[in-house]
Amino acid sequence: MSVKCLSVEPQGSHQIIVFKINDRIVKLVISGETKIKSGDTFFINFKQEKILFFDYESQTEI
């Protein structure tokens, strides 16, 4: 799946990449060494066993 980076939040050893899928905001934590900048289009593939979902209101894992 190809997505467009909306913003990058550097966090030192990692960074948070923000993009949309079906009009929903998604945040992805990746290595700080990966070179992605706001406006870049990149390909993403999810490993189902590595995905974590959180409830926005309660901040708990679903």
Q: How far apart are CA 26 and CA 6, in angstroms?
A: 10
Separation between Cα atoms, residue 44 and residue 34, nearest integer Å:
13
The whole-number pLDDT of residue 48 equals: 85
Using CA atoms, how far apart are residues 30 and 13, in angstroms rounded to an integer? 9
pTM check: above 0.85 = no
Q: Across the 62 residues of the chain, what is the mean pLDDT of every consecutive 10-residue run? A: 96 96 92 94 88 85 83
Domains of the chain: 2-50 (2.40.50)
